[in-house]
Amino acid sequence: MTDTRTTPPMRLPEVTLLMLLMAGVATVIFAVHWPVLHARAISFDDSQTFLHNPRIQNPSWESVRMFFTEVTGPRYVEGYYRPLTLTTLMLDRANAGSAEDFLPYHRTSLTLHVLCTALLIVLCYQLFGQPLVAAMVGLLFGLHPLTVEPVAWVMERKTVLAACFAFACLCAYVQYANRGRRAWFALSVLFYLLSLLSKPTGTPLPLMMLLIDYWPMRRLTGRAVAEKIPFFVLAVAFAALTYFTEHKVNDLTWPIAQFPLRACWLIMFYLGKVLVPINLSSVYTLPTPLAITNPVVLAGVVGSVALAAALFVSRRWTPAVWVGLVIFVLGLAPTLGLVRYSWVAASDKYVYLPAVGLVLILAWLLNRLWAPGQAPASRRTLTVVLVLAAACSMAVGTRRYISQWETSEKLHQYMLKLAPDSPQAHYEVAGDLRMQALRDAAQPDQTLLDKAIAHYEKAAELSDNFAGPHYGMAWILSIRGKTDEAIQQYELALAKNPKYMKAYVGLAQAYLLKNQLDKAVETTRRAITILPDTPSAYQILAAVLIRQGRPDEAVDTLRKAVAAVPDDLELMVNLGDALNRAGRRDEAVDRYKQTLARKPDYALAHYCLASIFSADGRTEEAISHYGQALRIQPKNIAIMNDLAWVLATHKIAPAPDTPSAVTLAETVCERTQRREPAFLDTLAAAYARAGRYPDAERVAQEAIDLATAIRNYRMVRAIDARLHLYRSGQPYEEKPSTAPADSSPASPAPAIAPPAW
């Protein structure tokens, strides 16, 4: 071997130069990645993991405690243990203006990416002793387009956070090896533990450290191996924990015969993306069929064999290339498919930590080209020019890819364009279409829903074991009133994934709609048996008990759920509603107030509290809480309608800034295209309160005609009684009631989540 270890003592001028270069590289990376701060896209598990995770959305020390203590059975985040990542996301949520404010998440992830780059610069300087070489390597790493996904994808905070601690671990370990101070060794073990608490894919790091001991540090001895025992203990413990937690929610087996073919293809695929980073996406599909007869698979096998042969030959001249590539492959090992913990075939984020092996090869190569005291100035100049040209090219590619993350719709359409045979891409596009169709709560866009179903059907066709598309179709069929067809799709989803909690909840709700209460109970209890302590299962069980006229049992059920998950505010509101329906209004009010003490801008709690106050005749308090709910959700027609009803049917002098009953009711009727008799009833009452009796008579008759058409004769009788008052020149006045206040919105209003019943 011709290499020599180059780790001279750090000199102050060099350290100063290194710090200046690091600051310059950091500035460039921030500037190039700056648009990511305004990215609005969410992808795959973002919604469940952070956007609708009550522990992240309601920051508290209790949430932190649960992140760390729920080791084998997290209730809100399926899969492996990553408490440190969830804690950092929760802290970002605390700094966000709203749940939809993504700036704090991206800001932290970008800062971590810059810190990762700085740590790699330090590592290269520690190992090769050339500040400018280390900075050039760091610049290329920091600007590479493959780093966009871990920064732009909110839930991939785990990747940059875990890598940051892993790189810090390597820097501390090299410092220990060079200086011999045990404090550095202890620090490296601590950093490794923090990396595993962020994401467990760093388990191969001890083997990677042994390779660095061999080259470039040249200290691979029995003592060096023995020093890794604490690292291996942590690696084995977290590997076992990860397997256990993933086994609870995923089928972890692949056909073992396919593993060599899959691994060969993936290794060549990733190296190709590193060298030519184009057409990057969060969705890549495996070659079909995954067999040696497939030319793409055959090319991967031939390329891997040729690469292995070249590395074997290269060992005669230098260990740098083979050591660096083996480190790269070791880093990829948890994602190569021997164990399946995700549907993902390949992903840019998987390259982030393993890239340290390629960084070492590049640092060695540039160090040879730089050759202090040996290389001519022309060669040094050419090296700098080539590195800067590559950096500029990468910066352009990075900017272009970041632009795809502007919105979820743009990102998913981009994914689908690159991978038209990906069931996940079709599934994400279908979800976007579904959300677009429902943006107007009063009038879903049926054309968009039809397109969503087409994509769901395509996703189901492309995958034999993907339950999500069936759930999506069932959801649309449910809102279209096709309950029997929805039930069939929910059952197909559960046949493909017996642990799919949302499908259980949807199926139970469908049975509730058909008044098949026994089947709803059976479905819910099966869900609780399979996934105990899941809040949504208890919510739907309580809904069935309410429907069966057993509100006290519903209260007991929800108390157990709240005790198990005290930070779930929706559960607390559901409990309040159950208490109200059980005739325990004072307890319900206390529960809603407790919820608002923890989250003052929780619209549903204000809404439910206002409903009770309205029924009790506490009109001023009702108007106040309806008003606060409306300020939080200014487009919610259910809130508008109920506030208008109170203003129209109660004798009260509202605050000067309160909209008039007529204005609110007219807005609601306009948005629902005058198709809802209940809303027209409110408008008629508002006109009567304003002394516009002819208008009140006309609108009341319009409401009666609509209610008659849908055979809601109870509503017909109620509106007809009010019509007689309007004809005699009297407004309708509501009397306080001792019956449970109905705190469920009067019409579909997805912007405010009502209790399940």
Range with the largest mean pLDDT of 224-233, 531-540, 598-607: 224-233
pLDDT band, residue 533 (cuts 50/70/90): low
Residue 464 has pLDDT above 60, yes or no: yes
Residue 76 has pLDDT above 80, yes or no: no
Share of the chain above pLDDT 90, in %: 66
pLDDT band, residue 753 (cuts 50/70/90): very low
Q: Would you state the pLDDT for residue 10?
A: 61
Q: Are 700 and 723 in contact (CB under 8 A)?
A: yes
Residue 3 has pLDDT above 50, yes or no: no
Which residue do the tokens 């605050």 mark?
655
Q: What is the pLDDT of residues 11-25, one digit of tens each?
A: 678 889 999 999 999
**Rounded mean pLDDT of 134-138?**
97
**Treating both helix axes as pointing N-terminal to C-terminal, what angle do 83-95 and 103-128 enclose, rounded to 10 degrees?**
130
Share of the chain above pLDDT 70, in %: 92
Here the tokens at position 739 are 């019956």
DSSP code of 47? I
Q: Would you state the pLDDT for residue 690?
A: 92
Q: Would you state the pLDDT for residue 544?
A: 84
**Rounded mean pLDDT of 398-410?**
96
**CB proximity list for 49: less than 8 A, separation 6 or greater:** 76, 77, 155
How would you write 462-505 as a 3-class SS string?
HCCCCCHHHHHHHHHHHHCCCHHHHHHHHHHHHHHCCCCHHHHH
* 3-class secondary structure, 219: coil
Here the tokens at position 617 are 């005749």
The amino acid that residue 17 corresponds to is L
Residue 749 has pLDDT above 60, yes or no: no
Q: Would you state the pLDDT for residue 110?
A: 98
Q: What does residue 674 show for φ and ψ, rounded to 5 degrees?
A: 55, 40
Of 463, 435, 464, which is closest to residue 451 (Cα–Cα)? 435
Cα separation, 510 vs 277, in Å, equals: 47
Q: Would you state the pLDDT for residue 414?
A: 96
Here the tokens at position 744 are 């469920």
Residue 461 has pLDDT above 90, yes or no: yes
Instruction: Please name the residue ranges forming H helices in 79-221.
Output: 83-95, 103-128, 131-143, 148-152, 157-179, 182-198, 205-214
Q: Would you state the pLDDT for residue 751?
A: 32
* 3-class secondary structure, 279: coil
Residue 403 has pLDDT above 80, yes or no: yes
Cα separation, 639 vs 635, in Å, equals: 9
Exposed/middle/buried for 676, CB within 10 Å: 0-12, 13-18, 19+?
buried
Q: What is the pLDDT of residues 707-740, one digit of tens each?
A: 999 889 999 999 999 999 999 999 999 877 655 5
**Rounded mean pLDDT of 496-513?**
89
**Rounded mean pLDDT of 271-287?**
94
pLDDT band, residue 255 (cuts 50/70/90): low
Residue 747 has pLDDT above 50, yes or no: no
Q: Would you state the pLDDT for residue 249?
A: 58
DSSP code of 9? P
Which residue do the tokens 């006309």 mark?
698
Q: What is the pLDDT of residues 334-375, one digit of tens each?
A: 888 776 666 788 999 999 999 999 999 999 999 998 876 677
Of 149, 151, 155, 148, which is closest to residue 45 (Cα–Cα)? 155
Q: Would you state the pLDDT for residue 291?
A: 92
Query: Cis bond leading into 354, ω under 30°?
Result: no
Cα separation, 614 vs 159, in Å, equals: 50
Q: Are 356 and 331 in contact (CB under 8 A)?
A: yes
Measured torsion, CA atoms of residues 405, 411, 414, 418, in degrees rounded to the nearest 10: 90
Q: Would you state the pLDDT for residue 176?
A: 96
pTM: 0.80
Q: Would you state the pLDDT for residue 100?
A: 82
pLDDT band, residue 748 (cuts 50/70/90): very low
Cα separation, 640 vs 518, in Å, equals: 36
Q: Are 649 and 733 in contact (CB under 8 A)?
A: yes
Query: Cis bond leading into 750, ω under 30°?
Result: no
Of 28, 92, 94, which is closest to residue 58 (Cα–Cα)? 94
Q: Would you state the pLDDT for residue 755?
A: 40
The amino acid that residue 55 corresponds to is R
Q: Would you state the pLDDT for residue 743?
A: 43
**CB proximity list for 430: less than 8 A, separation 6 or greater:** 451, 452, 453, 454, 455, 456, 459, 469, 472
pLDDT band, residue 137 (cuts 50/70/90): very high
Cα separation, 146 vs 582, in Å, equals: 56
**Treating both helix axes as pointing N-terminal to C-terminal, what angle do 677-689 and 713-727 enclose, rounded to 10 degrees?**
20
Q: Are 104 and 88 in contact (CB under 8 A)?
A: no
Q: Would you state the pLDDT for residue 250?
A: 58
**Rounded mean pLDDT of 310-332?**
94
Number of C-beta neighbours around residue 83 at 10 A: 19
The amino acid that residue 112 corresponds to is L
Question: What is the distance between the terminal CA atoms of the chain, rounded to a whole angstrom?
Answer: 74
Q: Would you state the pLDDT for residue 6?
A: 46
Buried b (16+ CB within 10 A) or exposed e, 725-750: bbeeeebbebeeeeebbbbbbbebbe
Quick one: residue 617, left, alpha or beta (phi over 0 = left, psi -120 to 50 = alpha)? left
What does pLDDT average to over the chain? 89
Cα separation, 570 vs 535, in Å, equals: 9
CATH topology of domain 601-757: 1.25.40
Cα separation, 47 vs 28, in Å, equals: 32
Cα separation, 746 vs 28, in Å, equals: 54
DSSP letter string, 583-641: T-HHHHHHHHHHHHHH-TT-HHHHHHHHHHHHHHT-HHHHHHHHHHHHHHSTT-HHHHH
Span(s) in the chain for CATH 1.25.40.10: 601-757
For residue 651, how many C-alpha atoms fall within 13 Å in the half-sphere facing its CB?
Answer: 4
Q: Are 451 and 480 in contact (CB under 8 A)?
A: no
Q: Would you state the pLDDT for residue 626?
A: 94
Cα separation, 326 vs 400, in Å, equals: 31
Q: Would you state the pLDDT for residue 338?
A: 74
**Rounded mean pLDDT of 613-632?**
92
pLDDT band, residue 592 (cuts 50/70/90): very high
Rounded to the nearest angstrom, the gap between the alpha carbon of residue 666 and the centroid of all alpha carbons in its chain is 38
Measuring CA to CA, how many Å separate 410 from each of 114, 243, 403, 432, 457? 26, 35, 9, 10, 21
Here the tokens at position 497 are 């994934």
Residue 402 has pLDDT above 50, yes or no: yes
Residue 7 has pLDDT above 60, yes or no: no
DSSP code of 443? S
Residue 439 has pLDDT above 80, yes or no: no
